[in-house]
A = this chain, B = another copy of it.
Amino acid sequence: MKKALLASTSTLHGQAYLEYLIPEIKKFFDGVSEVLFIPYARPGGISPEEYTKMAATAFSKAGLKLKGIQEYQDPTEAVKKAEGIFTGGGNTFLLVTQLYKNKVMKVLQEAILSGTPYMGTSAGTNIAGLTMQTTNDMPIIYPPSFKTLGIVPFNINPHYLDPDKNSTHKGETRETRIKEFHTLNTQPIIGLREGSWLEVSGDKITLKGKPEARIFRPEQVPFEIETGTSLKDLH
């Protein structure tokens, strides 16, 4: 049975890395002794080793061991054998490029669909959607495709940010960008604010955490959903 924890952000303002998620991580990976970490998104360009150290420190607070995928000779075998998987945030273009380049995208999808618990934050959450096309990141590298895992039947916009009504800046707001996406694409989008996450359990998808999320569909007025809402019909 498919099982995923998809968080908008790894870190809340003023907190340590993954701090607010530690109790969730503990519950989510119950029975797992070691989690496989995918550091491909390399936030700020840090090395896979540094990033793994950072994640391992946080996971140890949940009583879990964590090992970076770069420590294995064959990354596809590492995914196939993993008891649980966590993909951290960073640059989504880089993450997706690396997943394809290392032939991990397909085996990762298969592992999750066959029941390996999958946790993502930010870019790691974005790739659980149908495509990476609602990322906020800069295209710092050209990926072979924008198609991603499709663990949920919609797209995800992590770090969703409401328009600043006092802004005099003429760059597009997040909502305008998502509207532009919908002039060319049909899948719904969930704007996941920092502090909230999706809990996937088989066919059940539930919004969890603190703030409301925002749902966007083509040619419809976007609307808010409360924590606890089921997203069964979002496809």
Identify the A interface with B (CB < 8 A).
9-14, 42-45, 90-91, 93-94, 132-142, 145-146, 158-159, 161, 168-172, 176-185, 194
B138 touches A44 (CB 8 A): no
B134 touches A138 (CB 8 A): yes
B141 touches A184 (CB 8 A): yes
- Rounded to whole angstroms, the CA-CA distance of A93 and B172 in the bound complex is 14
Q: Rank and list the top 4 A-B pairs by shortest CB-CB distance, nearest first.
A: A45-B183, A159-B171, A13-B168, A138-B177
* Known A136-B138, A139-B146; further 9 A-B contacts with Cβ < 8 A: A11-B170, A44-B179, A44-B180, A45-B180, A45-B182, A45-B183, A93-B139, A140-B177, A140-B183
- 6 residue pairs bridging A and B, Cβ less than 8 Å apart: A9-B171, A10-B170, A44-B176, A159-B169, A169-B194, A171-B194
B136 touches A171 (CB 8 A): yes
Q: Chain A at the B interface: mostly helix, strand, loop or mixed?
A: loop
Residue of B nearest to A90 (CB): B180
Q: Specify which of B44, B94, B134, B185 is in contact with A184 (CB 8 Å cutoff).
A: B94
- Rounded to whole angstroms, the CA-CA distance of A90 and B170 in the bound complex is 11
A194 touches B180 (CB 8 A): no
A139 touches B139 (CB 8 A): yes
Q: Least Cβ distance of A219 to chain B in Å?
A: 10
Q: Least Cβ distance of A161 to chain B in Å?
A: 6
Known: A132-B139, A138-B135. A170 touches B181 (CB 8 A): no
